[in-house]
Structure 1
Amino acid sequence: MTDQPSEPTAHGVRIVGQPGDATISIDGDTLPRGRVIGYTLEHDVAKSLPLLILHVREPAEVAWNGFARVAVATTADLGQAVADFVLGIDPAAVQRAALERTDLTGSKHEITEAILKQIADWAQGRN
């Protein structure tokens, strides 16, 4: 499909989230429990509608009925995604978090190692 809609289509979204669980409804339809394993919500108020990216667990059979705008990441996109993530990190926050780690090694490069471990933890959604 190559046609792009002239205006973005908005859907009503409701998220009730707490550690370990989230209930997500789109246009009043609640997604099956246990299907969503994570989500990212982005919004640049001045430029666009919010963007909700759902990370889902695929069942044995995948069935879909409806309309969607689909973007598929390629390996080429991975480098830019990593760069965007790293450039979005607050240097002071990562330094504070790295210095507070309990797994500092005392090695010659422990600060750099702690910063890299902290960035990896944040990338995986861990504090």
Structure 2
Amino acid sequence: MTEQPIPPRAYGVHIEATPGDAVIRLDGEPLPPGQVTGYVLQHDVHGALPSLILHTRQPHGVLFEGLATVAVAVQQDHGDVIEEFLSGIDPAGLSRAALDRDDLDPGKHGVAEAMLKQLADWAKGRS
């Protein structure tokens, strides 16, 4: 059975950081020293709460205090994701889509280039 992810919840976040050191508090409790090697704080001002991702060292001093959605980063093997994506591609559909592209180059590698562009478009969710 696959473990179900825990839905995100908002934490009170306070970050005091200088080069080489950061003290991060979640709901007022400091994370143990050395447990987090770094973090990324991201916020779309038109979105809801900021997101705090704990994983990599931050080289510059930062001060943040407020609510944020917190996620712990998990290293992914991109090969598995790519393999899953490519295994779902219909070869005939890819050929048709590549040959129908407006930017199809008639040169020696034009069809291969069009197929790669089409795969990239599909990976980004574009038709």
Flag the structure with larger Rg. Answer: 2
TM-score (norm 1): 0.46
- Higher strand fraction (1 or 2): 2
TM-score (norm 2): 0.46
Higher relative contact order (CA 8 A, sep 6+): 2
